[in-house]
Structure 1
């Protein structure tokens, strides 16, 4: 999965915010906040890592099982897809 080029992640006062820009900013009139784990996954997606490597990155960064990390990545992808943030 690939992130849409029309969204950008910014850290503002310790809070991670995903904001639209370009043409997307006309249709998308809100911001999305991410927790630390969501921001971690987003940054890995910016590197175009495949899903399997995202899962392994979560396992090595956080104290979670591979199964839990896989479920978390799946839920995160689902939320991005629902918000039309994936190409």
Structure 2
């Protein structure tokens, strides 16, 4: 999968949020907030093809977490990203 073009991570008032670029795309009901680890992953996979395993490996490199916990978190994160429409297969 890949991140969709036109969506960028921004820090707004101390919050990491994904917003659509371009004035015509602004819909404040569709801003997606990300915690530190989700924002880290988003930044790492920009413009590359990635899988759940890619994200798991990135979490394991950056954080002290078990593979099982990382896999659970990644699966939930991918589901959220897909539901929000910010990634594509």
TM-score (norm 2): 0.80
**1:24 Cα shift?**
7.3
- Distance in 2, matches of 1:11 and 1:34, equals 10
Q: Provide the C-alpha distance between the structure 2 equivalents of 1:24 and 1:18, rounded to a whole number of angstroms.
A: 16
Give distance in 1, aligned partners of 2:49 and 2:64. Answer: 20
What's the RMSD between the two structures over aligned residues?
2.1
User: In 2, distance between residues paired with 1:56 and 1:24?
Assistant: 36
Give structure 2 stretches of 5+ with no counterpart: none
The answer to whether structure 1 residue 78 and structure 2 residue 71 are counterparts is no
Match of 1:4 in 2: 4
Q: Give the TM-score of the pair, scaled to structure 1.
A: 0.81
Higher percent of residues as strand: 2
**1:55 matched residue in structure 2:** 56
The size of the alignment, in residue pairs, is 86
Structure 1 residue ranges, 4+ long, deviating more than 6 angstroms after superposition = none
1:6–1:24 Cα contact (<8 Å) kept = no
Q: Tell me whether 6-15 or 36-45 shows the greater mean CA deviation.
A: 6-15
